A and B are shown apart, each in its own frame.
Chain A
Amino acid sequence: MAFLTPVDVLDDQDIDDIYFEDEEAIHFVPPLAVGPMYKSGHNSATLYGINEDAAHSQSSPQDHIYPCASQEWDSADELLEHALDQELDSDYDYDLDLDLELEFDLDPGEEVFEEEYDDGYDGVDFFPGLMDAASPFGQEINAHTLQSADLDFGGQHLEDVVEQLQNVRSQAAACLEGLALSFLAQLASLPNSQTHTSNKEHASPAEITQNLPDEIPISSDDGNPDNSVIPFRKPNKGINLSIASRRTLAEDSDGLALLSFTYISSSRFECDRRVSRTPQYRTIQFPARSKKSSSAPRFAVLFRVIDLAHEALVSNVPTTKRDIFYKDVPLFGKQSTVDHLVDDIAATFRIPRSSLNIRASSKGLFCGASLSLHLKHGGVVSGDDNESTLIPAEEDISWVEIEDSLEWVLVVEKEAVFQTLARIRFAAGVASHLGPGVIITGKGYPDLATRSLVHRLCSLLAPTVPVLALVDGDAYGIDILSVYKFGSTSLQHQRDALVAPRLEWIGVHGSELANIGVDKDALIPLTTRDHSKAMAMLRRPRAIMPDEWRRELTHMLHMRRKAEIECLVSASSVPQYGVQGVRDSVESSGPWAGPGRADGNKLVEYLVWKIAWAASSARC
């Protein structure tokens, strides 16, 4: 039995040599169904071997293939390790609980692997031609060096220590490698006229274990490729790679499920339906299913991203999505291609994106001297009442220091509003007699760092401190609010660490504008985008679209006008809730009094009214 490495197969000449010159057809163990290789969390697989003897006989095709190994593993990378080892390293006798041994005899001329089996498995070592990596984990210790160093670990098992040292990044690297290897494995097994090929269709984990294939006919000498049958599902020649499709990624039973954005009948509009637990995957196929485009660019984009992510992991140099995009702009085209793909890959392996060593660039700001962020590598980011401070990435923050005098937290959608409030030292509380607070902005749709900071504050602060949001009273404002409070569609798998359930929506409500004296003509007409967005949001389940928000959207749609924060400028009668002498103090405090004072005035009055009301009701 000869082994073919994917590297060899890539050369057409080699293929001819191998397939046609040798009388004995080359048999090789079909690579594992590729599902388990990159569905971490799934931890069982069945390996199939080809019975060499049966292949030469006239026995029916069913006898050619037998399940030779089936195993549960504790973690995906362990599975990966074992699976790839036995596939690629011919010298290794793989002994399982089932007492099946596999022996792979190398033809002398076909020796491919000369490396010995390595405990600290790293796929990179087996494909020297593919990746030029130096020691894969850089400065980090792996089992190999530990063994040779003969160190004492205080009684701990070597495996435990290795495991502790090999952090999440190595798992992520293994997952990425698995994806690439599965592609190559499929490439190696493309249909060929002479020999059998079994084409891989990506199947769900359940199917792999439950639906053992009945038959995998080996094509006879007439080499009709149509005879090759997918073992698991529908026939599909070619290569299939599946990655998660985040839009329909389902939640666990205690989480929320977002309905995918398709039209459904009204009878199902309001129900909080749970999408099935199986995550949805989209498949990149070769040959492409659609007639109009080829699939090569899709593979190229996927592998370029995986390559850059792997490089970041291996060399321990963090990169950003923007960085990845700029490495190959003609290939990617748009930044969003990279964004979606990176998040999809992270979702496929169910790991947070930071584990891929791709850092999100922060854009959120905060303001307020009561808040200081202590970083993991030393250093403190302390807030200031007058200036805005960039919110550091979540993985850099070690702990958060909050002054006891903190009375409120305000999250605003727009940076312009944030800057206005920072300029008038609103966070200090002096101008408004409110008490010190913290203002945070995500500059529109918040990034991970902002959301995680808000989440942290929500979990750390006492219930008497209100966490409030000021967004436009339009569809996008409410969507931003929803992202803070319930999580975004694209990062459902990271949801729990990013949501801020305590967040209250204080404004701007379209329904209250009449009460505070805003003229209806000051409202802004709805655009087609607003209309579509609002209609789409009305379809969301009640768990993530409370009735109050739904009512606001409905009234906004019906009125054909939306309320933005700028409308407050024309407010004529903002109530002064329980705060004495605010107007006087606001007018007399110096630095920001002047032209445009009227704008600051009205906004401040509005916010003071809302925050004071929220704070007093929180105290009850």
Chain B
Amino acid sequence: MSLQFVLSHSSSRGHADTVWGTQWTAADMVVSISADGTAGLWDTATGESIRSLPPHPLALVSLSTDAKGSRALYNSIEGTTGLWDLESGDVLGKKESFDTKAEGIEPAWSVSLSPDATTYASTGASGTITIHSADPTTFGRSVDTLSPRSADGKHKFGMFVSYSPDGSRLAMSTEQGQIFVFDIEKKELVNSFASHAMCVRSLAWSADSQLLLSASDDKRLVLHDVRTASGSGRPGSGAVASLNGHSSWVLSASLSADGKHAASGSSDRTVKIWDLSSRQCVSTIQEQGEIWGVSWRPQGGALVTGGEDGSLKWWRG
């Protein structure tokens, strides 16, 4: 069985450089960030730009939205984290995390906004997660720190961090391929997965917060069951499925809301749609450049991808 996805429309004018993150919000709009330092809000029906953030001098590398789709959190490559109100267009808060002299914090690399938009998590070069306040009045103030205990003290670069949709867990992936899941309330590590040995660039939660999909440079996507405790420590424990098929790094992943399909973008210039029950690739979309951002429509049935040329494309099945 294969699904056909056809191009619905593209963005009216794209970013000047590669799109490095896309998110289809619950408010049925698409937010995107780019290497040229801009972030944009797009109308999903027409592809027109609704508004865009004033350009940042350096590239934006991380994007996260809250459950309602009213606020977006972005982070730039040097560690300037900002909160963007999507309805009004204002920047509600900014934190310059590269100023290490201030608190002994490290520059943020990947950031994630909690679903209720009260806190956000950031991770950086040392691989520890710092939870900050996302309240506009106290934006950026450090609330907590979570750190995986590492057996070997090797350098772990935190590549991606993400809140689960129910707000109870935080997942983090590292440049070495490890994936850690923390329980926020108990402030402890509940799961660690060693399914990859190469950089895991992106994580995607399922809507019920039970499954975690990881996209790695080893050309695979691995679906993990977060419910099972991986205390046995065996490599691969907790992994439910492995999706193979890409011929180069997998850069981005997204799980559909109904839990049936996964989408992945890769540096082999394709977007693949996977059926999770059969673990097979059901559709391949050939693109012209690397795909760093894929995002399913929360209501289902459509997909948005962000490409190397800076444009966004909407696909419907």
The chain A residues found within 8 Å of chain B, CB to CB, are: 263, 265-266, 269-270, 514, 520-521, 525, 528, 531, 535, 538-539, 550-551, 554-555, 557-558, 560
Contact = CB atoms under 8 A, between A and B. Distances in A.
B77 A558 contact: yes
A270 B61 CA distance: 18
A90 to B, nearest CB: 54
Contact of B76 (A263, A266, A521, A531): A266
- Judged by DSSP, the binding face of B is loop
A560 B35 contact: no
A535 B61 CA distance: 14
Which of B57, B80, B101, B199 has the most chain A CB atoms inside 10 A of its CB? B57
B258 interface: no
Contact of B96 (A265, A528, A555): A265
Interface of B: 17-18, 20, 35, 56-59, 61, 76-78, 80, 96, 98-101, 107, 125, 155, 157, 159, 175, 199, 217, 248-249, 267, 290
A603 B98 CA distance: 39
Nearest to A266: B80
Contacts of A554: 35, 58-59, 77
Given A263-B99, A558-B77, A269 B57 contact: yes
Given A266-B56, A266-B80, A538-B78, A560 B199 contact: yes
B77 A557 contact: yes
Nearest to A271: B57
B127 to A, nearest CB: 12
B153 to A, nearest CB: 13
A514 B56 CA distance: 27
A249 B266 CA distance: 47
18 contacts: A263-B96, A265-B96, A266-B57, A266-B96, A269-B78, A520-B248, A535-B78, A535-B107, A538-B58, A550-B58, A551-B17, A551-B35, A554-B77, A555-B18, A555-B35, A557-B77, A558-B35, A558-B59
A550 B58 CA distance: 9
A270 B57 contact: yes
A534 to B, nearest CB: 9
B36 to A, nearest CB: 9
B310 to A, nearest CB: 12
A438 to B, nearest CB: 36
Contacts of B175: 525, 560
Given A263-B101, A531-B125, A269 B267 contact: no
B78 A266 contact: yes
Contacts of A266: 56-58, 76, 78, 80, 96
Contact of A528 (B99, B155, B290): B155
Contacts of A528: 125, 155
A560 B155 CA distance: 13
A2 to B, nearest CB: 52
B249 A558 contact: no
Nearest to B219: A521
Contacts of B58: 266, 269, 538, 550, 554
Nearest to B58: A538
A550 B125 CA distance: 20
A240 to B, nearest CB: 27
Contacts, number: 56
List 4 A-B pairs, minimum CB-CB distance, nearest first.
Answer: A270-B57, A269-B57, A266-B80, A554-B59
A475 to B, nearest CB: 13
A520 B267 CA distance: 9
Nearest to B175: A560
Given A263-B98, A266-B78, A551-B17, A558 B61 contact: yes
A266 B35 CA distance: 16
A264 to B, nearest CB: 9
B123 to A, nearest CB: 14
B210 to A, nearest CB: 30
Contacts of A557: 77
A532 to B, nearest CB: 9
A269 B290 CA distance: 28
Nearest to B56: A266
Contacts of B100: 263
A538 to B, nearest CB: 6
Which of A263, A266, A521, A528 has the most chain B CB atoms inside 10 A of its CB? A266
A539 B61 CA distance: 17
Nearest to A267: B57
A265 B56 CA distance: 12
Contacts of A270: 57
Given A521-B217, A538-B58, 8 more contacts: A266-B56, A266-B57, A269-B57, A555-B35, A557-B77, A558-B20, A558-B59, A560-B175
A529 B9 CA distance: 43
B104 to A, nearest CB: 13
B164 to A, nearest CB: 25
Nearest to B251: A559
Nearest to A558: B61
B15 to A, nearest CB: 13
A375 B61 CA distance: 53
A269 B157 CA distance: 24
A442 to B, nearest CB: 29
A464 B18 CA distance: 34
Nearest to B198: A521
A384 B114 CA distance: 66
A473 B77 CA distance: 18
B56 A520 contact: no
A552 to B, nearest CB: 11
A528 B175 CA distance: 12
A550 B78 CA distance: 13
A557 B20 CA distance: 13
Contacts of B35: 551, 554-555, 558
Nearest to B98: A263
A608 B13 CA distance: 37
A557 B217 CA distance: 15
A270 B96 CA distance: 15
B256 to A, nearest CB: 26
Contact of A560 (B56, B98, B107, B157): B157
A407 B204 CA distance: 54
Contacts of B155: 528
Nearest to A555: B35
Contacts of B76: 266
A305 to B, nearest CB: 32
A265 B98 CA distance: 9
Contacts of B199: 560
B76 to A, nearest CB: 7
A416 to B, nearest CB: 28
Contacts of B59: 554, 558
A460 to B, nearest CB: 37
Contacts of B17: 551
Contacts of B249: 520
Contacts of A263: 96, 98-101
B87 to A, nearest CB: 24
B259 to A, nearest CB: 30
B85 to A, nearest CB: 19
Nearest to A539: B78
